[in-house]
Structure 1
Amino acid sequence: MSVALPGPIGAYFAADRNDFDVAFCFTENAVVVDERQIHLGREAIRRWRAEASRKYSYVAEPLAVSDVNGQTMVTARLSGNFPGSPVDLRYAFVLEKDQIARLEITL
């Protein structure tokens, strides 16, 4: 299934899928919240993504997108070599111009 995503969000999922540096999709002072951990700024985001790649091999496939209270909500199926795979996750994006200013990933 193909879901139409806003440019920066589509770039994020494409970079993640191809194991490229996702940090370029974010503003300089962006925030990522994942697994109850906060990652502030591009360098921290770069380390977060690199650590996830070292621990697990996975693919995130966007299934649905909607706008809720100024956030772009993406439901994506994450499948890979981690406990509980596959799992549907919610990605709450806040965009600032053509970049991601905030991303929170939850179940």
Structure 2
Amino acid sequence: MHLPRAIQAYFDADKAHDGESLIQAFAPDAVVRDEGQLYAGHKAIVAWWRHAKAKYQHTAEPINMDRKNDVTEVHARVIGQFPGSPATLKFAFRIEGDRVVDLEIGA
């Protein structure tokens, strides 16, 4: 599966536990929606990601991708320290240029 560059960068950095590389996949004014919360901007996004990594000790492996209008949906198998693991979660990305501007994670 060939993911758009920004999305591949997100999953590569996540797998490598590399917050500095992960944040480079996002536009400065990007937003992330996860577990009913909104995180806006680089500082909030990297704090969200670090907190989630520490809490859930998870890995996410993309298994398929679908494009719907301006949204690229990636379903990933997520394994970690949470009820129902492993689970398939949907990562809905909006990209502008070569950066993620919006990411929503859900079931």
Per the normalisation by structure 1, the TM-score is 0.95
**Secondary structure of the corresponding residue to residue 48 of structure 1:** helix
Indicate the SS of the match to 1:75: strand
Determine what percentage of the aligned residue pairs are the same residue: 42
Q: How far off its partner does 1:73 sit?
A: 0.6
Q: In 2, distance between residues paired with 1:66 and 1:88? A: 15
Helix, strand or coil at the partner of 2:3: coil
Q: Structure 1, unaligned stretches of length 5 or more?
A: none
What is the aligned partner in structure 2 of residue 37 from structure 1? 37
Tell me the alpha carbon deviations over residues 27-81 of structure 1, each in whole angstroms, 9 at most, x when there is no partner.
0000000001000001000100010111121110101011102100100010112
Instruction: Give the Cα separation in 2 of the matches to 1:56 and 1:75.
Output: 18
Cα distance in 1 for partners of 2:55, 2:80 equals: 11
Please give the alpha-carbon distance, in whole angstroms, between the structure 1 residues aligned to 2:54 and 2:74.
24
Corresponding residue SS for 1:10 = helix
Where 1:27 maps in the other structure, the secondary structure is strand
- 1:1-52 per-position Cα deviation (integer Å, ceiling 9, x unaligned): xx21000000000000110012111000000000010000010001000101
C-alpha distance in 2 between matches for 1:27 and 1:51? 20
Runs of 4+ in structure 1 off by over 2 angstroms are none
2: CA distance between counterparts of 1:104 and 1:56?
18
